[in-house]
Chains A and B, each alone.
Chain A
């Protein structure tokens, strides 16, 4: 049975190869080839899952050795796949949600003449992501990691004719590179410390290694995770990545790719457990990001960017949980899976809204859409209820557990982390209610459109195209797009209860991640109650602001914080001032040193040699008698020196 593992990757990889090399002949059927192969991978995943369920909990991890990749004495890199409960969870999430999004894309990309290529890239992404989660050693994981980065670059920049999309793709790629460097350094450190980079030997040997080295490795892994998972300080690419087609945002930037960082941390759990300092940094990064993303999400008028802020914030929850150690690993993955459902559903809903609204993304141009798009409204609404943690839905079970685990960390840290997580829950409720109200409720602001957009410095770039479209005619999307949304809505509603009741998910993952019960200073019931109160407060404030009052069609100037949040809390400005300007100054001063000092020495010595020889040349005057003088002079000096030496 374990021989099927390679097929999981091979199916989408074959799809990518066929679609990208097949040429225009496949234009008519390419999207179905891609979808069928993604679904095939999912079917294989389900078969393996069924097989795994038949085994005892401790014997579920299987490996498949494919071939020796780089066999050198003392350095053994194998292509080996490892399928355990953790990778199984990811395989089902990636192929399941991935197949649904393939199906959705068939409808969404219907009018795009490069649809075949789009499906090729989607398949390539699936293959890379599966390689990432199935690899049995860090080097192979790195291959998948880079493959995911490549696929992300290709998909964000899919509409490359738009300069903004091309720039966003480059930005995502470059920011990801920073994290990738961290991962490669971590792998090198692992090799020098443990002499190997396969999971089992490395994670088994952490007890013998010095804590300083472990902390260094863990921090480098965290840097890698920050890059892929868009955590502070490497989060700036995620908002811009919304330039890609909406299915890309749903698949890559919500459900799967950005979770790679969480996977990396949970997979390396034993290593992080042995480096408490690094773990503390992980929790801080998670807590900061979950507030950061939530604040950004509160201010964005672009529906996709608001959702991107929300993604960042939810991944922050997962990273926070992963940083808590064995108390939180399982809950991080559980939130990851439920988030995969509801965030993919929300993004697909947003795509459906855009589809019916002439690709308008500004929520101030929406309003009252629930009458025109009932299916989208219901599925998006269920996703909304799930993400804010409405009791009984997915987010309620998974997020609540993380908040409890944060308090269970104990001490002052526990209170701070738990408080941040609680505040994040309130902010989540606020910004999601805002999205919901602005999109589906209120007056129909898309009817009365100004012909030209007034010059406002603070509005989103999407406003450029305002006034160029005719008045939209909102309509429900075709069945091929609504079916995936309905399936994901089911997941959003029931996945949490299915996983959470009786701690089913926890027991499933426990053999891989381990688990400890924390002793929380506050009881679970108190946490739940506090979460619900804050949820109501968030929803209430949003309702007062956007439900009771009409939403202005042009964004008001807003407070200082709002304006900062609209600019991603000045992240790009910070990067520009500190990194770009700093880099420019550094290179300029290096160029100056190079020109003056290095070139000065070289050119100066050359010039002085030239000058000297120019003067020496004058001695060659052609007069035989002057040469005779030199000879006599030289001979006289030699004789004088000889005599002198003799005398001494």
Chain B
């Protein structure tokens, strides 16, 4: 199978993730969209690694997974504490950080 198709899939997934980040308000959904974008990138890395016969991309994918796991821990903790204090998981409600 032509590896380029994986790239198209990666692009599609990234776009879905990005659109989700932009149009959804629920913090959990936003978070999942970000994960989707990260995994789209991973897919692209792995594909390129396969296409170029070079393992660098696969290693980067592992790094990304580690960082994403750490990020999930911190991010979910923030979301939970945000929900506890505001009884809402909407990111637009938490808009106090401005001039």
Chain A residues within CB distance 8 Å of chain B: 617, 620-625, 628-629, 632
Q: Which of these, B18, B21, B92, B99, contacts A623 with CB under 8 Å?
A: B92
Cβ–Cβ < 8 Å partners of A617 in chain B? 99
Q: Which of these, A620, A621, A622, A632, contacts B22 with CB under 8 Å?
A: A632
Residues A624 and B91 in contact, CB atoms below 8 Å apart: yes
Residues A622 and B95 in contact, CB atoms below 8 Å apart: yes
Residues 69 to 88 of chain B near chain A (Cβ within 8 Å): none
Can you name 13 extra interface pairs (CB under 8 A) apart from A624-B94, A629-B22? A620-B98, A620-B99, A621-B98, A622-B96, A622-B97, A624-B91, A624-B95, A625-B21, A625-B22, A625-B30, A625-B91, A628-B21, A632-B22
The chain A residue with its CB closest to the CB of B34 is A628
Cβ–Cβ < 8 Å partners of B25 in chain A? 625
CA distance A617 to B96 in the complex (A): 14
Residues 34 to 78 of chain B near chain A (Cβ within 8 Å): none
The 9 closest A-B pairs by CB, nearest first: A622-B98, A622-B95, A620-B99, A624-B91, A622-B97, A620-B98, A623-B95, A617-B99, A628-B21
Residues A632 and B92 in contact, CB atoms below 8 Å apart: no
Question: What's the nearest-Cβ distance from chain A to residue B24, in Å?
Answer: 8
Binary flags per residue of B9-32, CB closer than 8 Å to A gives 1, else 0? 000000000100110010000100
CA distance A624 to B90 in the complex (A): 11
CA distance A623 to B98 in the complex (A): 8
Cβ–Cβ < 8 Å partners of A621 in chain B? 95, 98
CA distance A415 to B25 in the complex (A): 108
Count of residues in B whose CB is under 8 Å from the partner chain = 13
The chain A residue with its CB closest to the CB of B21 is A628
Chain B residues within CB distance 8 Å of chain A: 18, 21-22, 25, 30, 91-92, 94-99
CA distance A621 to B94 in the complex (A): 11
Cβ–Cβ < 8 Å partners of A623 in chain B? 91-92, 95
Question: What's the nearest-Cβ distance from chain B to residue A615, in Å?
Answer: 12
Question: What's the nearest-Cβ distance from chain B to residue A576, in Å?
Answer: 59
Cβ–Cβ < 8 Å partners of A620 in chain B? 98-99
Q: List 20 A-B contacts (CB under 8 A).
A: A617-B99, A620-B98, A621-B95, A621-B98, A622-B95, A622-B97, A622-B98, A623-B91, A623-B92, A624-B91, A624-B94, A624-B95, A625-B21, A625-B22, A625-B25, A625-B91, A625-B92, A629-B22, A632-B18, A632-B22
Question: What's the nearest-Cβ distance from chain A to residue B33, in Å?
Answer: 10
Question: What's the nearest-Cβ distance from chain A to residue B81, in Å?
Answer: 16
Cβ–Cβ < 8 Å partners of A632 in chain B? 18, 22
Residues B22 and A628 in contact, CB atoms below 8 Å apart: yes
Cβ–Cβ < 8 Å partners of A624 in chain B? 91, 94-95
Cβ–Cβ < 8 Å partners of A629 in chain B? 22
Question: What's the nearest-Cβ distance from chain A to residue B47, in Å?
Answer: 18
Question: What's the nearest-Cβ distance from chain B to residue A638, in Å?
Answer: 15
Cβ–Cβ < 8 Å partners of B98 in chain A? 620-622
CA distance A225 to B96 in the complex (A): 79
Question: What's the nearest-Cβ distance from chain A to residue B36, in Å?
Answer: 14
Question: What's the nearest-Cβ distance from chain A to residue B19, in Å?
Answer: 10
The chain B residue with its CB closest to the CB of A624 is B91
Question: What's the nearest-Cβ distance from chain A to residue B76, in Å?
Answer: 16
CA distance A624 to B30 in the complex (A): 11
CA distance A621 to B98 in the complex (A): 5
The chain B residue with its CB closest to the CB of A628 is B21
CA distance A621 to B99 in the complex (A): 7
Question: What's the nearest-Cβ distance from chain A to residue B92, in Å?
Answer: 6
CA distance A167 to B75 in the complex (A): 84
Cβ–Cβ < 8 Å partners of B22 in chain A? 625, 628-629, 632
The chain A residue with its CB closest to the CB of B91 is A624
The chain B residue with its CB closest to the CB of A617 is B99
The chain A residue with its CB closest to the CB of B95 is A622
Cβ–Cβ < 8 Å partners of B91 in chain A? 623-625
CA distance A621 to B92 in the complex (A): 10
Question: What's the nearest-Cβ distance from chain B to residue A596, in Å?
Answer: 34
CA distance A608 to B18 in the complex (A): 36
CA distance A628 to B92 in the complex (A): 13
Cβ–Cβ < 8 Å partners of B95 in chain A? 621-624
CA distance A629 to B21 in the complex (A): 9
Cβ–Cβ < 8 Å partners of A628 in chain B? 21-22
The chain B residue with its CB closest to the CB of A616 is B99
CA distance A162 to B95 in the complex (A): 76
Most buried by A among B30, B94, B98: B98
CA distance A592 to B25 in the complex (A): 58
CA distance A265 to B3 in the complex (A): 104
CA distance A629 to B22 in the complex (A): 7
CA distance A620 to B99 in the complex (A): 6
Cβ–Cβ < 8 Å partners of A625 in chain B? 21-22, 25, 30, 91-92
CA distance A632 to B30 in the complex (A): 15
Question: What's the nearest-Cβ distance from chain A to residue B93, in Å?
Answer: 10
CA distance A625 to B91 in the complex (A): 8
The chain A residue with its CB closest to the CB of B96 is A622
Cβ–Cβ < 8 Å partners of B92 in chain A? 623, 625
Question: What's the nearest-Cβ distance from chain A to residue B10, in Å?
Answer: 15
Question: What's the nearest-Cβ distance from chain A to residue B23, in Å?
Answer: 8
CA distance A427 to B21 in the complex (A): 106
CA distance A625 to B29 in the complex (A): 13
The chain A residue with its CB closest to the CB of B24 is A625
Cβ–Cβ < 8 Å partners of B97 in chain A? 622
CA distance A625 to B22 in the complex (A): 6
Question: What's the nearest-Cβ distance from chain A to residue B20, in Å?
Answer: 11
The chain A residue with its CB closest to the CB of B97 is A622
Question: What's the nearest-Cβ distance from chain A to residue B88, in Å?
Answer: 14
The chain A residue with its CB closest to the CB of B94 is A624
Question: What's the nearest-Cβ distance from chain A to residue B95, in Å?
Answer: 4
CA distance A620 to B91 in the complex (A): 15
CA distance A193 to B18 in the complex (A): 81
Question: What's the nearest-Cβ distance from chain B to residue A628, in Å?
Answer: 5
CA distance A4 to B74 in the complex (A): 99
CA distance A622 to B91 in the complex (A): 10
Question: What's the nearest-Cβ distance from chain A to residue B3, in Å?
Answer: 21
CA distance A624 to B95 in the complex (A): 7
Question: What's the nearest-Cβ distance from chain B to residue A613, in Å?
Answer: 10
Question: What's the nearest-Cβ distance from chain A to residue B62, in Å?
Answer: 24
Question: What's the nearest-Cβ distance from chain A to residue B22, in Å?
Answer: 6
CA distance A629 to B91 in the complex (A): 14
CA distance A170 to B91 in the complex (A): 78
The chain B residue with its CB closest to the CB of A629 is B22
CA distance A281 to B97 in the complex (A): 81
Cβ–Cβ < 8 Å partners of A622 in chain B? 95-98
CA distance A624 to B91 in the complex (A): 7
Most buried by B among A621, A624, A628, A629: A624
